Amino acid sequence: MSLPFAVRPRAAARAVALCLLVALLTACARPQLFQQEAYVFGTRVDLTVYGNSQEQAEAAMAAVLQEFDRLHHALHAWQPSEVTRLNEALAQGDPAEVSEELATLLADATEIAERGDELFDPALGRLIALWGFHDEEFEPELPDADALQTVLEARPRMSDLTIDGTTVSTENPAVQIDLGGYAKGYALDRAAAILREMGVGNALINIGGNVMALGGKGDLPWRIGIQHPREPRPLATLPLYDGEAIGTSGDYQRFFEIDGERYSHLLDPRTGYPAEGTQALTVLVTPRERAGTWSDAASKSPFIAGDDWLRYLRAYDIEHGLRVADDGRIEVTRELNARLKIPSGVGPVRVVD
C-alpha cells in the first residue's frame, strides 16, 4: 500500500522540472526585432519585424524582398521592363497589351494625377529623361532648350491614355510612362499584404523614406523620423500606428547643382523645369485602402504647388502634412503637429489649417 505514495515525490519533481523547462522556453520566446536590408528601386530598403519566430520573420521578409525585385524589374522606367515595352509601343502609335496589374496601376495613377491637376503626372517620362534623371548617375547638365519646348508643346499626360481592359493606347506619341513617383508606395501596399498573409502583424517597411507600419512593438507604436532636407538630422519624430504610411518628396534625394543652383528630379509640368519653392514635403496617410500608394504619389502635387500646397493636400483627403519652404520656413497642419516631436534648434514652426 505504500508504493503509490513512494513514487509521488519523483512525479512531483518531474512536474517541477517540466514547469521550469516551460518557463525557460517561454522566456526564450520573448518577442524581438528581426531586420533585413536591401537595395531596390534605386534606394535602400529596411524591413523590421517584431515577433517571436525568427524563422517566420525571415521567411516573410524574404518573400517581401522577392516581390520588390519583381516590381523593380516590371516597372523600371528605362531598363528593359514591361513599362519600357509599353513606352516603345506608345511612341510608335501602336496599342500595347499589358498585364492586368499594370493596367490597374495606370488607371489608378491617372485618377491620382487628375485629382492633383496633373502636377504629378507619370506620363512625363520623356521630360525626366531630358533632364538626365533616367540614369543611375546623372551629369550636371541642363537639357536642350528646343527638345524641352517640344515636349512642353506636346503636353503629355496620363489622361492621354486609353485603357481598355489590358489594352493601352494613346494618340499622343510624347507620352512616356515613368512610375517612379508611384511605385514605392505600391510596393509598400504589396509588402503589407504579403506580411499579413504570412502571419506577421507587427512590422515596419521603409523604402527610401516611404514608410508603412503594421501593428507596433508590443504596447508601443513604431516611431520614425522625418529627414531634415538640409541637415544630417531628423526634422521631427513621430509615432506611426497600424496601417499608417508616410512619405516625403524632397529636392535633396536626386539632384545636381550648376553654379550653386540646385536642380531636382521633381519636375513641374507647367514649366518643364524642377519645381521651385519647396525643399521637402511630407504626407502622413491614416489607415485607408492603398495607404502606401497614397503616401508616395500624394506628396508630389503639393510639393510642386509650392505655397499652394495645402489645397492639393486637401484634394487627396489628407489632413497630416508638413512643408519646408525654399527659405527654410516650416509649415505643418494642425493634425500632424499634434503628433510631432521637434528637436530643439529646429524651427520656427508655423501651424496651418
Alpha-helical (H) ranges within 261-351 are 291-297, 300-305, 309-315, 334-337
Residue written as cell 529627414?
227
Reference 38, options 60, 73, 62; nearest CA is 62
Q: Is 132 annotated as a binding residue?
A: no
For 326, list phi and psi in degrees, rounded to 5. -65, -20
> Dihedral of the CA atoms 93, 94, 97, 103 (nearest 10)?
20
Whether the link from the prior residue into 348 is cis, omega within 30° of 0, is: yes
Q: Is 181 annotated as a binding residue?
A: yes
- CB crowding 309-344: b at 16 or more within 10 Å, else e: bbebbebbebebbbbbbeeeebbbbeebbebbebee
15 φ/ψ sector (left φ>0, alpha ψ -120 to 50, else beta): alpha
Residue ranges of the binding site for Mg(2+)? 181, 296
Residue ranges of the binding site? 181, 296
